[in-house]
Structure 1
Amino acid sequence: MKEFVVYTLSRIGIFVASYAVIAGVYLAVTGGDSIPLLWPLLLAAVVSAVASYYLLRGQRERFAAVVQRRAERATAAFEERKAREDAE
């Protein structure tokens, strides 16, 4: 569960940082007082997705390993119960 929380918070952090940079660049370039909502959000989503793919590879692999171990334990427990039922 810890790996899931760390990975999720990291993804959110990268998204927020991407949005802040994009919004800052937009304000610097346009010199405007307001930022449109849709385009910076979409651009931040794309930038953060690409950045997360490369920057969070290790965390993603650790999270996947935890999920894999949990799935293997659940499968083994299911097969054990199934074998006991068949024996009865």
Structure 2
Amino acid sequence: MKPFLAYTLARLGFFVVAYAVVWLIASIWLDFSAVTNLWVMLIALVLSAFAAMILLGGLRDRLALSVQQRAGHMTRKIEESRSAEDVD
């Protein structure tokens, strides 16, 4: 489960950094309200997703491999239990 945690924390970190940068830029020109904060969050979400798509390819591949291995393990266990039931 370590690749999942690493990828999730990296994505969260990208969002926090993007939010801080967009907030700093927006605070220069705009008065903050709930709507402004919503726009800042939306822009930060898009920027962080784009950055993660480009920069986190290796982590994403490790996460996909981990999920694939876990799914294969679970499938083997299900097949083993199914074949053990058929022996009777």
TM-score by length of 2: 0.89
Does 2:27 align with 1:23? no
Letter of the aligned partner of 1:57 in structure 2?
G
Letter of the aligned partner of 1:41 in structure 2?
M
Gaps of 5+ in 1: none
In structure 1, C-alpha distance between the alignment counterparts of 2:78 and 2:66, rounded to whole Å:
18
In structure 2, C-alpha distance between the alignment counterparts of 1:41 and 1:81, rounded to whole Å:
47
Does 2:82 align with 1:82? yes
In percent, how many aligned pairs have the same letter? 43
Give secondary structure in 1 for the equivalent of 2:52.
Answer: helix
Give secondary structure in 1 for the equivalent of 2:44.
Answer: helix
TM-score by length of 1: 0.89
Deviation readout 1:37-61 (Å, 9 max, x if unpaired)? 1110000011111111111111011
Aligned match of 1:65: 65
In structure 2, C-alpha distance between the alignment counterparts of 1:34 and 1:75, rounded to whole Å:
52
Query: How far 1:33 sits from its partner (Å)?
Result: 5.8
Aligned match of 1:54: 54
Gaps of 5+ in 2: none
User: Runs of at least 4 residues of structure 1 off by over 3 A?
Assistant: 32-35
- Give the length in aligned residue pairs: 86
Aligned match of 1:5: 5
Which shows bigger deviation, 32-41 or 52-61?
32-41
Query: How far 1:23 sits from its partner (Å)?
Result: 1.1
